[in-house]
Amino acid sequence: MAVLLRIDKPLPIELKDRVTELLKRIRPTDWKQAAAGSKVAWHASWSDVVLLRVEAGCSQRQCMTLIGRLTDQAINLELTILADDMVWMHDVFFDLWGSRSAPPWIFKTEGDAGLVAILRQEGWVVSACSNCTNWGSRKPDQISPPEPRPAAPAILPPKSFREFSRDLETLRTR
């Protein structure tokens, strides 16, 4: 199974400083424009991976697209590619060259072409593909954050067994 996502969400406040610091390092001459034109596919409930699209200095719809790993203070850059804003995220693990690999992500490039990115323990493997998926057949899936959990009940003052039994009996007779 796979989900089609767009890297098109505004940069959330909790990532702004880390993205700015990353862009100062990798785009020293235009980091302000790059930060202003950054979009993400990320939510705080996800894992520590963030997809970042820098919509400054693009060639047609092909923009700098980054895969990074979040820490408390930074984004550790793992992969930089030139891609469109759509990505298929698959969920099937498989063996590649004798070791377990993460499910592939297929980034749209031009037409029906794409870049397949597969994370292995040793790093990313990237391969071009032609007609590897039909980009026009589906609209991107909307992934919503998980529903908020109800608040924990208030901590009640301790009661003696006698008080507890009395309260329980009162509830039963209602």
What does the pLDDT look like over 95-152, one tens digit per residue?
Answer: 888 888 888 888 888 877 888 888 888 888 888 888 776 656 545 555 555 666 676 6
Q: What is the pTM of this model?
A: 0.70
Contact status, residue 42 vs residue 50, Cβ threshold 8 Å: yes
- Note the pLDDT tens digit of each residue in 75-90: 999 999 899 888 888 8
- Note the pLDDT tens digit of each residue in 11-58: 888 889 999 999 999 999 999 999 998 999 876 556 788 899 999 888
**CA distance linking residue 35 with residue 143, whole number of Å:** 24
- Note the pLDDT tens digit of each residue in 154-170: 677 778 888 888 888 88
Nearest-5° angle of CA 47, CA 49, CA 53? 140
Contact status, residue 67 vs residue 78, Cβ threshold 8 Å: yes
Q: Which residues pair with 86 in a beta bridge?
A: 6
Tell me which residue has tokens 């039963």. Answer: 172
Report DSSP state, residue 131.
S
Half-sphere exposure of 99 (CA within 13 A, CB side): 10
